[in-house]
Structure 1
Amino acid sequence: MRTLTTGTAALLLAASLAVTLTSCSADGNNPTVAPQAKIPAGLAVEGYAIASPDAATAAAEAFDRSEAAIDTVGVSGVAITAGGAGVAPSDESANSLREAAQSAGKEAELLVVNAGQDGFSGELATQLLSSRANREFVVSGLTGEVVNGGWDGVQIDFESLSAADAPGLVDFAAELRDALPDDATISMAVQPDTDEAGYADLGYDLAALSDSVDRFVLMAYDQHGTGFSEPGPVGGLPWVGQVLDAALELVPADRLDLGVAGYGYRWTGEGTAGGAVSVAEARTGAQSTGSWDAEQAEYTASPGDGSTLWWSDGRSITARADLAESKGLHGVAIWQLTTGDPIRRG
């Protein structure tokens, strides 16, 4: 999952991808149409959007398509500033998404990320987490966003960490919990690993973080992706099961959401070259060569131009939501609304 900077940068830029959804079809095996993702009634649903003036209209339209199925909108809206000493304020596009969500009776979470133009930065996270003064500045900024901006909570999305960052992350979460209003929630996005011990290596002391974090989102995607691997499923179902089982050794099921991809990758030749694509772009690029891989529960295509595509569409999301329900999870979290298929309750 988003362990490498090149892969994360592609996702952060995904808000600029064209979003053209075709009509739904009863034939879920047909990769050229857009089946709606079906979420079991008992699961909570978070849908993500990236705050960007250029993508504001697309994000609003994507939310409208899936509004009835969504409980929480996660808005990737603020980033840690250079040196880890502050947090950039949210802009109007983030506030517009928050207002749309809350006007529809949904919760709105503000995501804080350790990322910039080049993707997620472990160095930036270390600069923040290792300094009490820097943590205080960032906590103060996030608390101001929640209190003055009307957000329902904060999601910490810190990636590309190391084991040495774990104590500082625990301190940061605890300090944020103490500063926020009692009714404000804290959730945390967590990179996946197939081994229980691997979460500590990734910088997440999940047992200690549980004292401050209400809910964890397991980002069960980017098993493969352009920039860091050869072609393969974005998050194949067998691999998703492995990372989920490892996480459940550390986090109670009712405090865990399964993160699911609503996008794909197009490799342009041998190796890792290519880029992220929306589901609609993947269907177009497949040129009618796409097929459903039942084992991985994703679509793949080799259209004959030297490229290879893998993408996670509505049918893929349904399979992972069913897995989440079978494991007794709190819910699912879809990255992201503007690049994936519509969502509805099954």
Structure 2
Amino acid sequence: MARTEVYKKKKNRTTSLIVFSLAFLFILSSIGFWIVYPFPSDEKVPYFTEDYTMIYEEGIFNDQAVLKDQLYIPYTFIKQQIDSSIEFDEDSSSVIITTDQKVYQMPSDSLNYYINNSEQKLSFPALKQENGSLYLASEWLQKVYPIEIRHFKDTKSIQILEHDQILQKATMRATEDEDLRRMRTAPTLTSPYVAEISEGVELFIEEDTKEYFKVRTENGVAGYLKKSVVQLNGTDRIKAEVQANKIPFKPSIEWPVHVTWDGIYQASANPTSQPDLEGVKVLSPTWFELQNGEGDIRNIASKPYVEQAHEKGYRVWALFSNAFEPDWTQKALSTYESRQKMIKQLLQYAEIYNLDGLNLDFENVYEQDGPKLTQFARELTPLAHEAGLVVSMDITFISESAMWSKFYERKELADAVDYLMVMAYDEHWSSSQVAGSVSSLPWVKRNLNQLLQVVPHDRLILGVPLYTRLWKIEQGENGEKVSSESFTMEEAEKWMKERDLEPQYDKSTGQDYVEYQVPDKPITYKMWLENETSLAKRAQLVHQFQLAGIATWSKYFADDEAWKTLDQELSHRKIVQKSE
């Protein structure tokens, strides 16, 4: 009896193992079959979750447009996706748009707007405010930007396409398989679908994956279809109503440019005649200066100066300075009205004095005002170009100084003006507690390499100092006292001759150097010279870095040999060794 029970138990255990194994194999095979042959999803989901959703660059954005008498596009969408430089000026309740040739001002909810300060009329407002948000008329936007705006009424969505954008066209093939007609949210049949596509429906290809195309229908809905059911049908090129400016303003001046700043600080200091400066093409007199926060500009310009300059073959790019006054600058740049006030004065002066260009010199500016300075340049340049004026702007090398460097938006400024002039000097300031070169060559090269990461080489003019500093180091009971004074090239030469000093070449700076110990006194003088040695090397940097030219500071600091050296080196490229 006991033996029979043991046998039955073993038999039952064996049967259970067989059943369990078969069930396990069935489950594994089912999983494997499902992986290899997945069951297509029958779940349908909406593609758009909001009305008037924006479609741009194959993505969808929930910045909703509004439909009034026509379609209005959100200002925030335009700023984030189309034109980062578009500005809303709260003071005038206007949107400001700048292009290469035009400045647009659109007051809110008005049938009038302005192009380059000329009043224009519309039958609808270009700008609307709705529940605290700003919207721009789609019809008007297509007259300003090289875009095409498509409104899909059945899906209540909007697509924005760019001029010259190429669309790959396709059509849906015939198929009896319902699952293959369904446009999926992801490139797999197990994903939910957003629409079922009929034979012959026109499509546009947006993405090519391994087995699927991402397609978009003519009503804006997008998803994935198997390649086997999609027939490619050539391409379509978007032709917007307004095309990008093909012929931008180009200064009519031969390369390489040589500008020399002419430091004039009183009307009575304007010279009565112009000297022959070998190789110089442009004079930049320091005539215009910000007077207050209201945007009034001090003017000490001279018509005879310009006439004589033109007779000598020079162009005149008058300099406009912010007087290095950060508070005035902040207020004057803060509104469209005050910026336009400055621009109108500058353009009026340019017409009165027959100027060829304007040079902007804004320094000692609060870091937070940098974008407003860029906007000022954007608003000035199209109007200046309309008047035939070249616009240049002075900048410093990139550094951590908030008010002397960080406020410059160099990349954006390079797009806004014709030339950037980098003031490649004051490596050691007059108040520095360490004696050193005004502008050592390794320092210039290192900073040029950094600057050219953000500024195009052919828009950059290299600032060249025509002065030096005589450093005085006194040893006293309380330690070392360092002071300096600026010397012109002739003053430096005279000082050396009086002490019978011969300069020695300093390889570490690429300049000639002199040092003088006062007899019987704990006083040492040091001077890194600007002369033929350093100027030749600076001019060759134009060729080495393919720059637009040089700008020398300043005209009165140079001797006759300086102009000859610079002209000769700019005119003839030297083979520069890597070790130099």
1:70 aligns with 2:280: yes
Q: From 391, 412, 415, give the equivalent of 1:208.
A: 412
Q: Distance in 1 between matches of 2:554 and 2:444?
A: 18
Aligned residue among 367, 392, 396 for 1:163: 367
The 5 Å alignment of 1:259-270 reads: 259-270=463-474
Alignment of 1:1-346 (within 5 A): 43-51=256-264, 52=266, 55-57=269-271, 60=273, 63-64=275-276, 66=277, 68-83=278-293, 85-92=295-302, 95-115=303-323, 120-182=324-386, 183-193=388-398, 202-270=406-474, 271-286=481-496, 287-289=499-501, 290-305=503-518, 306=523, 307-342=525-560, 343-344=563-564, 345-346=567-568
* Inter-CA distance 227–283: structure 2 relative to 1 (3 Å threshold): same
Amino acid at match of 1:243: N
Does the aligned pair in 1 maintain the 2:396–2:404 contact within 8 Å? no
Match of 2:473, SS state, is: coil
**Residue of structure 2 equivalent to 1:29:** none
Greater relative contact order structure (CA < 8 Å, 6+ sep) = 1
Percent identity, aligned pairs only, is: 24
**2:515 partner amino acid:** S
Separation (CA, whole Å) in 1 of partners of 2:308 and 2:360: 22
The answer as to whether partners of 1:160 and 1:202 remain within 8 angstroms in 2 is no
Q: TM-score, length-normalised on structure 2?
A: 0.47
Partners of 1:166 and 1:200 within 8 A in 2: no
Q: Secondary structure at the match of 2:297?
A: coil
**TM-superposition CA deviations, 1:16-69 (whole Å, max 9, x none):** xxxxxxxxxxxxxxxxxxxxxxxxx95221111112456544x956x42x2x30
Compare CA radii of gyration and give the structure with the larger one. Answer: 2
Distance 1:227 1:99, change over 3 A: farther
Confirm or deny: 8 A CA contact 1:194 1:246 kept in the other structure.
no
Aligned residue type for 1:172: F
Task: Extract unaligned runs of 5+ from structure 1.
Answer: 1-40
User: What's the CA shift for 1:199?
Assistant: 11
What is the rounded CA distance, in whole Å, between the counterparts of 2:410 and 2:380 in structure 1? 16
Deviation at 1:130, TM superposition (A): 2.5
Bigger share in strand: 2
The structure carrying a bigger helix percent of its residues is 1
Deviation of 1:211 (Å) = 3.1
Report if aligned partners of 2:306, 2:353 keep a CA contact under 8 Å in 1.
no
TM-fit CA distance, 1:312 = 1.6
Query: What secondary structure does 2:368 align onto?
Result: helix
Equivalence for 2:231: none
Asked whether the equivalents of residues 366 and 402 of structure 2 are also in contact (C-alpha less than 8 Å), the reply is: no
Alignment RMSD, CA only?
2.6
Compared with structure 1, are the counterparts of its residues 272 and 192 closer, same or farther at alpha carbon in structure 2 (3 Å cutoff)? farther
Deviations 1:247-270 (A, max 9, x none): 111111111111010001122335
1:307-333 deviations in whole A, cap 9, x for unaligned?
A: 332332233121011012111111011
Q: Distance in 2 between matches of 1:249 and 1:198?
A: 20
CA change 1:194–1:202 in 2 (3 A) is closer
Contact 2:319 2:359 in 1 (8 A): yes
Equivalent position of 2:90 in the other structure? none
| Letter aligned with residue 317 of structure 1 | L
SS of equivalent to 1:180: helix
Which SS does the other structure have where 1:189 is aligned?
strand
Secondary structure at the counterpart of residue 376 of structure 2: helix
Quote the Cα distance in structure 2 between the aligned partners of 1:261 and 1:322.
15
